Structures are given as C-alpha cells and as structure tokens.
Chains A and B, each alone.
Chain A
C-alpha cells in the first residue's frame, strides 16, 4: 500500500480534521486527577503525605537539600510538601519520589492529593499514619535552642 506523505494529503486532512477531538474510549472513565479530588479529602491525606516524605527522608539521614538532589526534584518542592499541607506538588515530583521510595505511583498520587481516592480504608490508614507519625518525643537540645531563639526573635519584633 502506498502511503501518501505529500502536502496535499496533509492540507486536505487538516481541513477535514478541523481541530476536532480525536479521543477514543479505550481508557474512558479512568480515574480523575486533581480537579475531581474533593477538597475535603485532600488536606488530611496531604498531611500524611508530608509526614511520610519527612520520615522517609529522615530515616535515610538526608537533609531536604540532599533528598531533593537524590530524588532529582526541586528543593522548593520538598520544602513545600513537608511544610505546607496545602502545597500542590508537581506530578513529576510525586512520580520521582515514588520511584525513589519504591512506592506505587497511584498510592503516592492519592496521598499527595493529585488523585481522587475513593477507598475508605486507604483514607483511614492515611489519617492513622498522620496521627501516629506526629512526633511526641522531647525536643532535642538543637531543636529546643532553635525554637527558643526563634520565639525570642518573634517576640522582639
């Protein structure tokens, strides 16, 4: 079969196609990303996401900077994830972290709030993890000093 690759074919097809949608149904009704994720569900899961990243990083004795370099993502992304539960990480960031930690993409996308999660057990486990992972131990001397200095600074201002 001779395949026509000339400009006339392209022009004719461009006119016929006319900027139409071409989507097919092989993947129809695949899970919704981001805008389908109910805001009320996102925040608790994101706090679990933040704690997970923080603990996984600390377990490896990595600073945020080192973790970002190892995972190959921007430092701002790591800081945003750990410090701000409203932070919306980039898809690539979550994908890279999932690869680094050996966690399935979908699970981490769900935790990050980029993917709608309907699984009640998944949500419950995330909440329990976030609660359990909240530190209760005494502050280290370094943390204590840092906190004291910062409070003092805030009071002086």
Chain B
C-alpha cells in the first residue's frame, strides 16, 4: 500500500506531498540508521554543552537488526512516511498479543505501537540544538492515524496502546488525546497510553481540541 497524503512544511506552513507506505524493507531501517543517527549524535553533542543531552531519549539507539526478522512476521505491520526524497518516519505495529488496560475496555485486544520514530530534522529540540528549524509536521500524528486505521481494519475499532517515553508523553496525551493509564513496572515504568474507539475517533476526525 502506498498512499499519497499531505503534510506541512514547518517553516512555511505550506502543504507538501508525502507518501505513506507499508511495504517497509530492511533498506528503510538502514536508511534511517545512516541518515538519522549522525544528526541525533551531533545534536546530543551540542546539547551536552548545556547539560541537556538527557532530553534525548535513549530510544534513539534502536536496533534495526531485530526488526529485519520482524518484517517477515504477519503479526507485525510496518509503516513508513517519505517526503522530499527522504524517510521522515517509521512505525512498527503489533496486531496480536496485547490487550486493553483501561477499566472500560479492559481485556479487549488492541493494536500495540511497538516502535515509532520521526526523522531528527522534524524534532524541534534537536533542530534548535543545531540552530535550525524543524522541517515537516505532523509526522507522528500521521503515523498514529495510520495505526488507528490499522486497528479498525483488524476489527479492533481503533483501540490502540503504547508505552510512551517520558519525552513523548506530551505528544500522546495532548496532541493525540490518548488516555493515560499507569506507569508499567514491566516496561521501565513507562506510561501506558491507550485509545478507546471514541478517543481514536476524536483524534482522527479532528476533535482533540
């Protein structure tokens, strides 16, 4: 599947064409690793001068070699977003094996966001460290919207769950409107966030404000 969508140029505010695709291959992870990683390292180095390097999640050290095996498994779905000839975001979903934790839908199956990352040039903190403006938005939202769609396709009505890193809580709770459930001791005390079908609908139809 390849879908043409529009995203926004962060600086001009103009709409630009992008491609959302699900035929992700190991080359995409290699591309992400090779092109994203040096930018993150440079930004971390700049931030270390002001003692702010801790603001960059350790998750930046993800391991693409694990994902190569996952590409072959039906239980996982991958999405990528390309714009301006470059990969702008990647996401990995797990469609089986995870269940809801919110009391009103506890135990029901959901789609789990196992991995999601946007290119470092779309992250404000990193670009400010490098004296630049972020490039495109809203990469995270477009990917999460794709995850909600996948949940609907799987008959899970938009139910979605994930473990948010502390640096991402603002995005999931406020930009997406997901519900905060609790810190998960089994997952480094990361915050478990969840979409109900209603919450997912509010998000995808623009009712998060």
Footprint of B on A, CB under 8 Å?
A: 1-5, 7-14, 16-36, 90-92, 95, 105-106, 109
Contact = CB atoms under 8 A, between A and B. Distances in A.
B50 interface: no
11 contacts: A1-B204, A12-B206, A16-B209, A19-B10, A19-B134, A20-B168, A24-B113, A24-B116, A26-B112, A28-B187, A95-B26
B179 interface: no
B149 A3 contact: yes
Nearest to B5: A5
Interface of B: 5-8, 10, 13, 15, 26, 30, 33-34, 37, 41, 57-63, 65-66, 68, 92, 94, 112-118, 122-125, 127, 134, 137-145, 148-149, 152, 158, 162-165, 167-168, 170-172, 174-175, 187-188, 190, 197, 200-201, 204-206, 208-209
Contacts of B58: 28-29
B34 A90 contact: yes
Contact of B113 (A20, A26, A36): A26
B15 A29 contact: no
B63 A33 contact: yes
Given A20-B175, A21-B165, A29 B188 contact: yes
Contact of B57 (A7, A23, A95, A105): A23
